[in-house]
Amino acid sequence: MKSPIVMISSYPPRLCGIGTFCEEAREFIQKHNPDREVLVISHTDGEGDGVFPLIDMSKRDWWRAVAEKVHDLDPHAVHIEHEYGLYEYCDERGHGDGNQGFLDLLDAISDVPTVVEPHTVHGRLTDFEADFIFKMTRRANVVLFKCHYQKWRLDWNFAGKGWPTPRNIMVVPHGARSDRRYSLAEVVELRKELDIDKVGQLSTHLVGLIGWIQSNKRWDILTSMWEEIAREIHERTGEDWDLLAAGTWRDPNHKNDYDKYRNEVDVLEQKGLAHYYEFVPRGDIYYKMMAVCDFIVLPSTDETQSGTLARIIALNKPYITTAPMEGLTAQTLESDGGLLFTTKDMLKRHVIDLACNEGMRMRLGENLKHYLDTVVSWEVVAEQYIDAYELAREATRTGKPVLQPMEF
């Protein structure tokens, strides 16, 4: 067996979007590298074969144990998933270190080919974010952004500060599965499997609000208008459409929002217009809940990229989402697979139009199928990861920095 690929990230069973991403990415990296193990160094709550739960964020020098393990494993490449909250050490006064430990880790493994994949890169950076990205890109061999706009906006951000723009940035999109598409016959069976067919008065036509319930996923934007929307759809088509709201909360800071959104859905359910389904949004059931819907509404008010959208794309489901909203808008424009709204009236109009126009739903779904197959499927993304590893290895071997072309 050749030297392993080592990923550093949060990992299940932690209820964390980055951990779920790492689990799925690892699956496809392994498929594309059958002669190498793909191992994970995780936080202390990570579990599973080939997982080393060593990241102890209660320690200021948590990175030392990680660096030691990296060198013990002698990896082909190190692939790090980054989110600010995952690597922030806080002292006894609650003061954070600004991810300094993460930078210390990169310094400590500078002799190893290193690829960093940051999951939050805003179009307009705060001073802290700009400083961190500058320092991080100086230390990593290759940095992977999810969207092209993040790369050309970084040039604008850095030029405004008089800083040189990093040239070691590749754009590799958020991967999406290509093995979760369901036929109409399979959707009928899924309704039975999920017991949705047993819900009294629930229509065969469903609009989905699916995923983690938190303050930035503004379910109330749609629920506040749903009764009026359902009435107008029925007047136009004679069809009954219902709202399927499904998910749960994970962050205690968002519990009040969960209660608020849940109560609004309960009121609609009492009127026979909606149904709430409690589930943990990960694994196969996440895909199955989306699959039973005709289309999905993703009313997020803060998102640089989205695991929820990756699943929508995997299912080729038409969708409606907020704009302008970082990666959500970018992928909607690139895929031509969804509709964008900037006001409540626009959302209302799009929901009604999409419900009343099966041809539009089919066209958007076909566009998403093409986008999935050619741009964002994990099969395509895994090959781009391999390219990034080779660039990192060459940079480590020669001492010459990676130079990627600018976007514009």
pLDDT average, residue stretch 185-206: 90
- Mean pLDDT (the chain) is 96
Q: Residue ranges of the domains in the chain?
A: 2-175+378-398, 184-376
Distances (CA, A) of 214 to 247, 295, 395: 10, 21, 41
Instruction: Select the more confidently predicted residue: 184 or 376.
Output: 376
Task: Go through 202-231 and write b for each residue having 16 or more CB atoms within 10 A of its CB, e for each that does not.
Answer: bbebbbbbbbbbbbebbbebbbeebeebbe
pLDDT average, residue stretch 59-83: 98
pLDDT on residue 305:
73
Q: How far apart are CA 27 and CA 382, in angstroms?
A: 10
Instruction: Select the more confidently predicted residue: 136 or 215.
Output: 136
Residue 47's pLDDT band (cuts 50, 70, 90): very high
2-175+378-398 with 184-376: one CATH topology? yes
In CATH, which of 3.40.109.10, 3.40.50.2000, 2.60.40.3470, 3.40.50.620 is domain 184-376? 3.40.50.2000
Would the pLDDT of 20 be above 90?
yes
Radius of gyration of the chain (CA): 22
Q: How far apart are CA 59 and CA 182, in angstroms?
A: 46
Residue 202's pLDDT band (cuts 50, 70, 90): confident
Q: How far apart are CA 130 and CA 165, in angstroms?
A: 11
pLDDT on residue 406:
96
Would the pLDDT of 198 be above 90?
no
Class of domain 2-175+378-398: alpha beta
pLDDT on residue 302:
85
Would the pLDDT of 200 be above 80?
no
Max CA pair span of the chain: 69
217, two tokens: 């996923």
Would the pLDDT of 349 be above 90?
yes
pLDDT on residue 199:
83
Q: pLDDT tens digits, residue range 79-132?
A: 999 999 999 999 999 999 999 999 999 999 999 999 999 999 999 999 999 999
Looking at residue 157, its amino acid is N
Would the pLDDT of 397 be above 80?
yes
Would the pLDDT of 76 be above 90?
yes
Residue 161's pLDDT band (cuts 50, 70, 90): very high
Residue 313's pLDDT band (cuts 50, 70, 90): very high
Residue 304's pLDDT band (cuts 50, 70, 90): confident
Would the pLDDT of 391 be above 80?
yes
pLDDT average, residue stretch 333-344: 97
Q: pLDDT tens digits, residue range 212-269?
A: 998 888 999 999 999 999 999 999 999 999 999 999 998 899 899 899 999 999 999 9
Residue 1's pLDDT band (cuts 50, 70, 90): confident
* Residue (of 92, 155, 133) closest to 404 by Cα position: 155
